[in-house]
Chain A
């Protein structure tokens, strides 16, 4: 792991010295030994601040939309999930692939619960790969949708009760939206207060409507990076909503995983004449 870390620092230093990129987004140390934070490296000397260890859990791809370095290319350290997030953002036409330089880092799983059901530990897209590819783990559909299946088995009253209790914790901090690579609208519907889609009051109906709307906005484009759940300060099971949508997509229109390429149209933007029809 330390070999990869030194290779990462070398690569970052080289890229910045040569002027290939103006900024490298990676992970840096914090005051806590078991936490890392995203850092923006802009000078070759600062490349020494980059770290690569089991605590690099933050998704980095979303930071490209902050436009901290408007001139020149941007380098991003990408694990499997970050690379799919990059594909997501490029596919959604929020950033040009040619303005990015991706430093691929095969990842054996970090200390985040979502890593247990990660099916793409190796980056799916990169410009340079540091270290050899790691073996992928097999994750069955049952494991992937375990939480969803458990909730599906409840009665409507129990389901409503469960979600109402969960969503009553929501404080409308919008951290899930800010961290989500699929939530890349320039202006979010939740911020359009004049339009009045989303009430600002903390009220269980508003919270549930926010949760459902966000789930439906991103559900069919979700890359299952688990950032929403990781950043939620109130510990809401947000992935259980988006994964429900993914499970239904799998059931209705075949196996579906997002972010593996940067060109496939998303599932609700296309159709098939032979689609199943429940509405006759």
Chain B
């Protein structure tokens, strides 16, 4: 029986190396087909009519003009007269036509009347919220008493704006029915298996008759777990018309209704003893991600203090609803906590690096990891030589340093894999997972190749279809652990199954065989090693098949990481423009399967972090409740010139490798904003407490206004 472990450090053929993603070339050359690229014979285009009001009741719908138009095949009412609409851009009617242009004209011809109701979109004004929902305070110890007697105190209010996911590939799909009971959905989704079940349920056919396919995806970040109303509508129109239908969201819909990260606003008081030990935390926070408000961010973040209390108020608003945004609630909690603690370190007259180290035991079981990472980060940033107390910088453009800590789980999800070994030497993994662009396909291939001891050209990954062995949704950094565990186990089982089949044909025992560096070896040395491809011919016409699952025997993955990030920024004191000079990210994630992909995840996270730190926010019009920047012109994403130099260091070796694989999608996106805000505070000498740190807000802080 196979032993379900990862190979030891000296025995790794691929694991831990810098391996480029296998689908890079097809993506770079445009041969990779995304959902939007799927075009079927006789396909219709569907466009959705959106509600212009943030809160309204539908009083009349007249589709006659649209229905009369040449080329319009179907007008589908999604929400009928009498429905109360809770946010602008909500979908009311879908028009399907023979071309995208006709569908747009048809949508424009639909007449909908509304009774406009009062709306609330200014979630920052918690006192004006009609339906604010305060939760009970959660208290440990006696924060008030600890605060009263402590020699060092600090307080501040910290703000994180609501942002969107703004995936480059918008939500949507193409639906085509094979017969009355069977439909195929080419969808942009993070959950092919889950979407099949959801759609089957909603349109009344068995989940097994829904085939979902996602080979390539242009970003989801937590916003693409559901089949969504537009997925159901697309399938319904396809069924009603007997024709394939494409329905993709436009950019304005994408950023208005297809995902938001809740805002967080917090008033925080903290206190420390004479040695700089944090003794008390008190936070009152509120925030909104739409009609359901927002759950409390985990405050205080990473640290637990002996005396702490936190109270959160959820503020429902008439805005497009929240969806999980990469590391849900953590970036907000990180900004609030790390800014508040940096302020306390300043009050204590300490270098924040010393201050965080002083209090590091309060982070719990990852404390020693944080210490190692802080020391590594300090070395890469030159922190000890370069850090100066807040406000020391002079001149028009001032630079400063900041740091922040983060944490995440990332245990592998449930996943199944089938491995097939063919007599031509090809080894195939079949797995019902999707690759969000993170490199999942490459990870599966390299685990398979590693286990068979062959090159990557010798393996094939078949994935992205719901009919394959079920694998979990890709969210919460669970995919890499799930698919690597399932693939490793399936591949180890497949190696055994190959040996079982060919050993008799080689006149030896299974236990005498091993695969290494592309060769089949005889452990007893009785026979010279033979190339894998020659050995594989003995498999015969029926391929060998074996399966594996995660979780399963042996510890192949784990949960729980801690990372640190440091920022070096410059602030133009006259314009409030913040520029990133350098970002340092030091990250652990257990055993790293592909160093290049791991580093890429961190680079991508830093860029996303710079974006929400400096430029990105959803702006709502007080009059209409509509989003004023549902575009990529004023919904501002950072460009390559904005991100500065990025230095990524992955923790590896003893203490890390033996934990097995841990997810990396979320952790590194949590801390950039907090580190950048702390650096901007250190540079300017005034608290920079709001994200995004636009010139407007930074100037307000510098000029002594409310920050």
A and B found bound together: no
